């Protein structure tokens, strides 16, 4: 299949493009490089463009005879969204509306959308199921929830089958080292832990007074290649059914301190940790109820220690 991958020059998009190619598909990356890397577009053609440009999207969909779209492109910094909410609604919601219009015009029938556990807000149950209330605590999460609502309204009218995958925290790198997690600035905990270990710079630990087992935030970490697999499977699933809304998590929580300990143990090195207050809009604990996911995705997910081991192996290989 020819698959348009919006945001395919970014972290998850580039890993998914690699797996798409490996599975015999053609990933056509559509990205404005606002937060992506041209050198990661190496698994198929590149269209430089902005998802708010409906005509550019339409040309790409028609020109490449696209069978399905995986829509990763978004602004995705929680803290930034609290300072620039209007940018987040314009880019994320505006871009999704333009994409739906272009798909409707071009007759493209399948869409997999990157949603997020940030659409739920603070957990009111220990594990978050798909029917958990949606009360996002920051404009980023709200923009993703609004995108889902727009898709729910437009897709049936436009004859589009869709999947909305609500990922929990995505971690890890391509095992071959061809692409890897890289955000500017990097706010994600695992690459920052690895960087601190490699450079000796301090690791900034945000939030030590959360109501959790060790005071630090608990998240459900999903390995990026497992997530890529979920997207490819979702494209098949929505061939048969019009709507698939699912969490993508492992159903197990790991605290920041537990991650820190895992990295220190794998590297046999103590990190220089600097503690800071929690960041605004950061919920204490987000863990998926992954029961529904297991009904449509028969795939074993990597555990956090396995992901950490891989990262250490890749870091050692890079050093030679
Ligand atoms: N990383 C996570 O843990 C996580 C968790 C849940 C959901 N998500 C979602 O997954 C998606 C991908 O996340 P990521 O970590 O790979 O982010 P990323 O920033 O690495 O990638 C996003 C890509 O989208 C592109 N982009 C942004 N706005 C665009 C626009 N207007 N037009 C064209 N391209 C544009 C950027 O240039 C970048 O290449 C996002 O939608 C994010 O909200 C990520």
Q: What is the pLDDT of residues 132-150, one digit of tens each?
A: 999 999 999 999 999 999 9
Q: Which of 212, 231, 235 is nearest to 222 (CA)?
A: 231
The residues that bridge with 19 in the sheet, in sequence order, are none
Q: Does ligand 1 come within 6 angstroms of the Cβ of 52?
A: yes
Atom of ligand 1 nearest to the CA of 181: 20
Percent of residues in the chain assigned helix, strand, coil, to nearest 5: 45, 20, 40
**What is the model's pLDDT at position 186?**
83
DSSP per residue over 217-270, as a string? Answer: -EE-EEEHHHHHHHHHHHHHHHHH-SEEEEEE--S--EEHHHHHHHHHHHHT--
Distance CA 305, CA 307 (A): 5
Are the C-beta atoms of 311 and 246 separated by less than 8 Å? no
Average pLDDT value for residue range 209-216: 95
**What is the model's pLDDT at position 58?**
98
DSSP state of 34: S
Cα-to-centroid distance, 304 and ligand 1 (Å): 22
Distance CA 200, CA 271 (A): 7
Q: What is the pLDDT of residues 114-131, one digit of tens each?
A: 999 999 999 999 899 999
In this prediction, what percent of the chain has a pLDDT beyond 70? 100
DSSP H or E run through 85: helix 85-88
**What is the model's pLDDT at position 315?**
84
**What is the model's pLDDT at position 295?**
97
* Confidence band, pLDDT 50/70/90 cuts, at residue 183: confident
DSSP H or E run through 3: strand 2-6
The tokens for 227 are: 């997530």
Burial string for 274-301 (b: 16+ CB within 10 Å, else e) reads eeeeeeebbbbbbbbbbebbeeebeeeb
* Confidence band, pLDDT 50/70/90 cuts, at residue 201: very high
* Confidence band, pLDDT 50/70/90 cuts, at residue 280: confident
The tokens for 236 are: 């098949």
Are the C-beta atoms of 103 and 145 separated by less than 8 Å? no
Q: Is the pLDDT of residue 319 over 80?
A: no
Q: Which of 204, 168, 202 is nearest to 189 (CA)?
A: 204
Are the C-beta atoms of 240 and 160 separated by less than 8 Å? no
DSSP H or E run through 135: none
Taking CA atoms only, the protein residue closest to ligand 1 atom 36 is 35
Are the C-beta atoms of 193 and 263 separated by less than 8 Å? yes
**Residue that is written with structure tokens 């209007």 in the block:** 86
Taking CA atoms only, the protein residue closest to ligand 1 atom 28 is 74
Q: Does ligand 1 come within 6 angstroms of the Cβ of 12?
A: yes
Average pLDDT value for residue range 247-270: 95
**What is the model's pLDDT at position 46?**
98
* Confidence band, pLDDT 50/70/90 cuts, at residue 279: confident
Average pLDDT value for residue range 49-59: 98
**Residue that is written with structure tokens 């620039």 in the block:** 84
Q: Does ligand 1 come within 6 angstroms of the Cβ of 301?
A: no
Cα-to-centroid distance, 35 and ligand 1 (Å): 8
How far from chain centre, in Å, is Cα 267?
27
Q: Which of 11, 140, 221, 223 is catalytic?
A: 140
Q: Does ligand 1 come within 6 angstroms of the Cβ of 274?
A: no
The tokens for 285 are: 């604990």
Strand blocks (E) in 38-189:
46-48, 68-71, 110-116, 161-167, 169-171
**What is the model's pLDDT at position 184?**
85
**Residue that is written with structure tokens 């695992």 in the block:** 190
Q: Does ligand 1 come within 6 angstroms of the Cβ of 179?
A: no
Cα-to-centroid distance, 270 and ligand 1 (Å): 32
Domains of the chain from N-terminus onward: 2-171+220-248 (3.40.50.720), 189-219+252-288+304-319 (3.90.25.10)
Cα-to-centroid distance, 92 and ligand 1 (Å): 10
Are the C-beta atoms of 253 and 178 separated by less than 8 Å? no
Record the pTM: 0.96
Are the C-beta atoms of 3 and 235 separated by less than 8 Å? yes
Report the residue among 7, 28, 217 best suited for mutation to probe ligand 1: largest number of ligand atoms under 8 A from its CB. 7
Are the C-beta atoms of 218 and 253 separated by less than 8 Å? yes
Are the C-beta atoms of 156 and 104 separated by less than 8 Å? no
């Amino acid at each position: 299949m020819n698959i348009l991958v919006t945001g395919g020059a970014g972290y998850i998009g580039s890993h998914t493009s690699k797996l798409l190619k490996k599975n015999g598909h053609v990933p056509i990356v559509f990205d404005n490089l606002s937060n992506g890397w041209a050198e990661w577009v190496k698994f198929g053609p590149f269209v430089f463009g902005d998802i708010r440009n409906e005509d550019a999207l339409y040309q790409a969909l028609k020109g490449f005879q696209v069978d399905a779209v995986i829509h990763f492109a978004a602004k995705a910094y929680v803290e930034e969204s609290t300072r620039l909410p209007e940018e987040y609604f314009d880019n994320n919601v505006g871009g999704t509306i333009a994409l739906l219009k272009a798909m409707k015009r071009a007759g493209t029938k399948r869409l997999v959308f990157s949603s997020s556990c940030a659409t739920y807000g603070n957990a009111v149950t220990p594990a978050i199921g798909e029917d958990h209330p949606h009360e996002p605590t920051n404009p980023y999460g709200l923009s993703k929830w609004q995108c889902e609502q727009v898709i729910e309204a437009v897709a049936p009218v436009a004859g589009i089958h869709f999947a909305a995958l609500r990922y929990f925290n995505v971690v890890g790198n391509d095992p071959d080292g061809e692409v890897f997690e890289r955000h500017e600035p990097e706010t994600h905990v695992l690459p920052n832990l690895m960087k601190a270990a490699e450079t000796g710079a301090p690791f900034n630990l945000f939030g030590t007074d959360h109501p959790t087992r060790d005071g630090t935030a608990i998240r459900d970490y999903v390995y990026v290649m497992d997530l890529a697999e979920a997207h490819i499977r979702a494209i098949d699933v929505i061939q048969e059914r019009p709507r698939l809304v699912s969490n993508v998590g492992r159903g197990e929580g790991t605290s920041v301190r537990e991650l820190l300990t895992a990295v220190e143990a794998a590297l046999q090195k103590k990190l220089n940790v600097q503690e800071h207050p929690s960041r605004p809009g950061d919920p204490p604990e987000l863990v998926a109820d992954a029961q529904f996911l297991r009904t449509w995705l028969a795939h074993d997910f990597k555990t956090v220690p396995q992901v950490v081991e891989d990262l250490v192996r890749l870091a050692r290989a890079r050093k030679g």
